[in-house]
């Protein structure tokens, strides 16, 4: 089953806080607000608010709007500091989204209560300027959508600066799902399930989670290597990227598995070197080990991959269960100041939304300006893999990843008897992997996010 993170209680007061900015806010010269009620129930609702700056860049923003006279009250908000006085609502940007370039946007949201009807709020302003959706000049049209599968459009991926980039040297975000341990849930990964993932979920990638211990690779190296390769082929046939995860967890020091890792990656890299859809994750969640120990491991394994497959992206796990050290009381500075000596690499970041909140989001936001990051695993629930879905924290996380163009894979595309699973128990004995009847709360939320249209740039 899933790991226990070192739980940090990153508690933040969502309502009624005052934000401090490094420089004063300036007036916006044009803005647009898209307000959407994403779900509604008796006496309550959830809404998303997308703020787009159409004018000059701003560093520090405040959105204001008026609730209709029908008893609407903000109860909890995310991705900003929310407060309400009477019918007037004030929303202040936080550290990771306070700067809005021309054309830049911030996605925030809240849950609320209401009585009677639930009409749309009015009088949206950004830094005191009415959001009319225009600056008086029509913005240039966006690029036309490009037909094709994710791999057909983007081709061989590589790292450029702090971004994952496609064959056109443009930053892209991949969104997808992770398998559970293939030694336990092999029945979940078949023709029907991968067809559903590619065509109904419209996933960009499949993370193939191959545990090393826990009845995994060490028990049958050849058998597990062959199973990983077959899943790579199945992803390729459907135009999805395949993220090969060497799922080290217990023991947490990846050096324990150094020789196994070299053997495995020499084999899969040689076999898959001609493919454009393969990404290598060389260690899953290092724990109980220093960053220097992880770095030493990476600098021995990456040359093995490169010897056979010189062009593929390689992802390195980070300290504290791939939390950039946050779960060990550290932060991203240890990686920034002592990066792995290799090119075309990224660093893994993992979170579980009910356990890891503002402190983790702030770390990710800071690190994203210095390091190429890939969220190779996250959950919508607690770090145990169980407990209730934390919808507001998950939404805040996904909005942030979208904003920063950080790719992600959700744990898990399986019917495990735990709330992090996308499917209800028993689903993998059938052939339906998409309808509401087989999806858990977590699965329904992830499918709705992943299946939205990609915007892969080609020029």
Q: What span, in angstroms and rounded, lies between the C-alpha atoms of 337 and 235? A: 36
Catalytically active residues, by annotation: 285, 377
Kindly list the distances between the CA atom of residue 26 and the CA atoms of 34, 89, 108, 276, 347, in Å, as whole numbers in the listed order.
22, 20, 20, 45, 35
Instruction: Quickly list DSSP for 138-188.
Output: PPPPPPPP--S-HHHHH-S-EEETTEEE-TTS-B---EEEE---TTT-GGG
Q: Which helix (H) or strand (E) holds 378?
A: strand 373-379
- CB-neighbour burial class of residue 6 (10 A; exposed 0-12, middle 13-18, buried 19+): middle
Residue whose token pair is 């009624």: 16
Q: Are strands 99-100 and 58-59 parallel, antiparallel or unpaired?
A: antiparallel
HSE-up (13 A, CA, CB side) for residue 450: 31
Q: What span, in angstroms and rounded, lies between the C-alpha atoms of 228 and 269? A: 12
Give me Rg for the CA atoms of the chain.
22
Closest by CA position to 430, among listed 264, 153, 188, 155: 188
């Amino acid at each position: 089953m899933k790991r226990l993170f070192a739980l940090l209680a990153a508690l933040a007061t969502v309502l009624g806080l005052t934000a401090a900015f490094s420089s004063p806010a300036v007036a916006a010269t044009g803005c647009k607000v898209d307000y959407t009620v994403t779900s509604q129930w008796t006496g309550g609702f959830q809404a998303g608010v997308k703020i787009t700056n159409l004018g000059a860049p701003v560093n520090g923003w405040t959105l204001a709007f008026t609730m209709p006279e029908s008893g609407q009250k903000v109860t909890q908000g995310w991705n900003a500091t929310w407060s309400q006085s009477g019918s007037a609502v004030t929303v202040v940007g936080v550290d990771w989204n306070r700067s809005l370039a021309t054309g830049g946007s911030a996605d925030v949201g809240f849950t609320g209560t209401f009585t009677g009807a639930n009409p749309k709020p009015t009088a949206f302003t950004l830094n005191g300027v009415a959001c009319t959706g225009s600056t008086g000049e029509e913005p240039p049209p966006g690029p036309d959508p490009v037909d094709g599968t994710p791999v057909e459009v983007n081709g061989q991926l590589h790292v450029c600066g702090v971004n994952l980039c496609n064959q056109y040297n443009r930053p892209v975000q991949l969104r997808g799902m992770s398998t559970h341990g293939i030694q336990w849930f092999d029945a979940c990964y078949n023709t029907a399930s991968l067809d559903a993932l590619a065509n109904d979920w419209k996933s960009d990638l499949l993370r193939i989670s191959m545990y090393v211990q826990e009845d995994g690779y060490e028990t049958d190296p050849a058998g597990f290597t062959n199973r990983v390769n077959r899943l790579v082929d199945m992803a390729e046939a459907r135009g999805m990227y395949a993220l090969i995860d060497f799922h080290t967890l217990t023991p947490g020091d990846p050096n324990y598995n150094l020789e196994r890792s070299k053997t495995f990656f020499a084999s899969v890299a040689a076999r898959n070197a001609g493919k454009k859809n393969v990404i290598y994750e060389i260690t899953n969640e290092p724990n109980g080990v220093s960053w220097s120990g992880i770095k030493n491991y990476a600098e021995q394994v990456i040359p093995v991959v490169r010897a056979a497959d010189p062009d593929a992206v390689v992802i390195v796990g980070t300290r504290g269960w791939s939390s950039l050290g946050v779960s060990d009381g550290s932060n991203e500075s240890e990686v920034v100041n002592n990066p792995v000596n290799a090119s075309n690499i990224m660093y893994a970041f993992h979170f579980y939304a009910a356990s890891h909140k503002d402190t983790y989001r702030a770390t990710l936001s800071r690190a994203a300006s210095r390091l190429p990051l890939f969220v190779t695993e996250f959950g919508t629930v607690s770090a145990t893999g169980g407990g209730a879905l934390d919808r507001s924290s998950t939404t805040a996380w996904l909005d942030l990843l979208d904003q920063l163009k950080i790719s992600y894979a959700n744990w898990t595309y399986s019917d495990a008897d735990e709330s992090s699973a996308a499917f209800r128990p028993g689903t993998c004995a059938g052939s339906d992997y998409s309808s509401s009847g087989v999806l858990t709360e977590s699965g329904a939320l992830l499918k709705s996010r992943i299946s939205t249209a990609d915007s892969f740039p080609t020029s």
